[in-house]
Amino acid sequence: MQTLQAVRGMNDVLPDEAELWLDFEATVQDWLARYGYRNLRTPLVEHTALFRRAIGEATDIVEKEMYSWRDELNDEDLTLRPEGTASCVRAAIEHSLVYDGPKRVWYAGPMYRHERPQKGRYRQFHQYGVEALGYPGPDVDAEHIVMCAALWRELGLANLRLELNSIGSPEERARYRAELVKHLEKHHDRLDADAKRRLQTNPLRTLDSKNPMVQEVVASAPSLLLYLGEASLAHFDALKRLLAAAGIEYRINPKLVRGLDYYNLTVFEWISPDLGAQGTVCGGGRYDGLFAQLGGKPTPATGFAMGNERLIALLRDSGRKPSSRPPHGYVIHQGEGTLEFALKLAEELRAQNLRIVLHAGGGGMKSQMKKADGSGALYALIVGEDELKAGEVSVKPLRSGGPQLRLAHDAVANALKGS
Ligand code: ATP
Ligand code: MG
If asked whether residues 309 and 357 sit together in one domain, one would say: no
If asked whether residues 64 and 149 sit together in one domain, one would say: yes
Average pLDDT, the chain: 95
* Model confidence pLDDT, tens digit, residues 290-310: 999 999 999 999 999 999 999
SS3 108: strand
If asked whether residues 361 and 293 sit together in one domain, one would say: no
User: Does residue 129 have its Cβ closer than 6 Å to ligand 1?
Assistant: no
For residues 200 and 113, the model is more confident at 113
Residue 307 CA to ligand 1 center (angstroms) comes to: 6
Atom of ligand 1 nearest to the CA of 281: 20
pLDDT reading at 251 higher than 90: yes
Q: State the burial class of residue 111 (Cβ atoms within 10 Å of its Cβ: 0-12, 13-18, 19+).
A: buried
End position of a domain, from candidates 263, 287, 317: 317
User: Does residue 261 have its Cβ closer than 6 Å to ligand 1?
Assistant: no
When divided into structural domains, the chain yields a total of: 2
pLDDT for res 324 = 82
Give domain status of residue 232, yes or no: yes
Atom of ligand 1 nearest to the CA of 113: 27
pLDDT for res 6 = 97
If asked whether residues 232 and 291 sit together in one domain, one would say: yes
User: Does residue 256 have its Cβ closer than 6 Å to ligand 1?
Assistant: no
What CA–CA distance (Å, rounded) separates 113 from 280? 16
What CA–CA distance (Å, rounded) separates 17 from 150? 24
User: Does residue 112 have its Cβ closer than 6 Å to ligand 1?
Assistant: no
Q: Which domain holds residue 131?
A: 15-168+228-317
If asked whether residues 258 and 304 sit together in one domain, one would say: yes
User: Does residue 280 have its Cβ closer than 6 Å to ligand 1?
Assistant: yes
User: Does residue 259 have its Cβ closer than 6 Å to ligand 1?
Assistant: yes
* Model confidence pLDDT, tens digit, residues 62-106: 999 999 999 999 999 999 999 999 999 999 999 999 999 999 999
Composition of the chain by helix, strand, coil, percent to 5: 40, 20, 35
User: Does residue 113 have its Cβ closer than 6 Å to ligand 1?
Assistant: yes
User: Does residue 122 have its Cβ closer than 6 Å to ligand 1?
Assistant: yes
What CA–CA distance (Å, rounded) separates 278 from 287? 24
Residue 280 CA to ligand 1 center (angstroms) comes to: 7
If asked whether residues 259 and 386 sit together in one domain, one would say: no
pLDDT for res 31 = 98
pLDDT for res 287 = 96
CATH number of the domain residue 352 falls in: 3.40.50.800
If asked whether residues 401 and 254 sit together in one domain, one would say: no
What CA–CA distance (Å, rounded) separates 231 from 226? 13
Atom of ligand 1 nearest to the CA of 122: 28
Give domain status of residue 256, yes or no: yes
What CA–CA distance (Å, rounded) separates 306 from 120? 12
CATH number of the domain residue 152 falls in: 3.30.930.10
User: Does residue 163 have its Cβ closer than 6 Å to ligand 1?
Assistant: no
If asked whether residues 233 and 121 sit together in one domain, one would say: yes
* Model confidence pLDDT, tens digit, residues 169-215: 999 999 999 999 999 999 999 999 989 988 988 899 899 888 889 99
If asked whether residues 342 and 400 sit together in one domain, one would say: yes
Residue 174 CA to ligand 2 center (angstroms) comes to: 23
If asked whether residues 284 and 258 sit together in one domain, one would say: yes
Strand order, beta sheet including 103-112: 38-39, 103-112, 124-133, 301-307, 280-286, 264-271, 161-166, 251-252
Pick from 106, 103, 102: which is nearest to 147 by CA?
106
pLDDT for res 411 = 95
If asked whether residues 273 and 383 sit together in one domain, one would say: no
pLDDT for res 419 = 65
Pick from 46, 246, 296, 237: which is nearest to 144 by CA?
246
Percent of the chain scoring above 90 in pLDDT: 86
Q: Which residue has the least CA distance to atom 26 on ligand 1?
A: 121
Atom of ligand 1 nearest to the CA of 270: 18
If asked whether residues 242 and 281 sit together in one domain, one would say: yes
What CA–CA distance (Å, rounded) separates 266 from 137? 10
End position of a domain, from candidates 317, 350, 371: 317
End position of a domain, from candidates 317, 352, 367: 317
Give domain status of residue 188, yes or no: no
pLDDT for res 410 = 93
Q: State the burial class of residue 255 (Cβ atoms within 10 Å of its Cβ: 0-12, 13-18, 19+).
A: middle
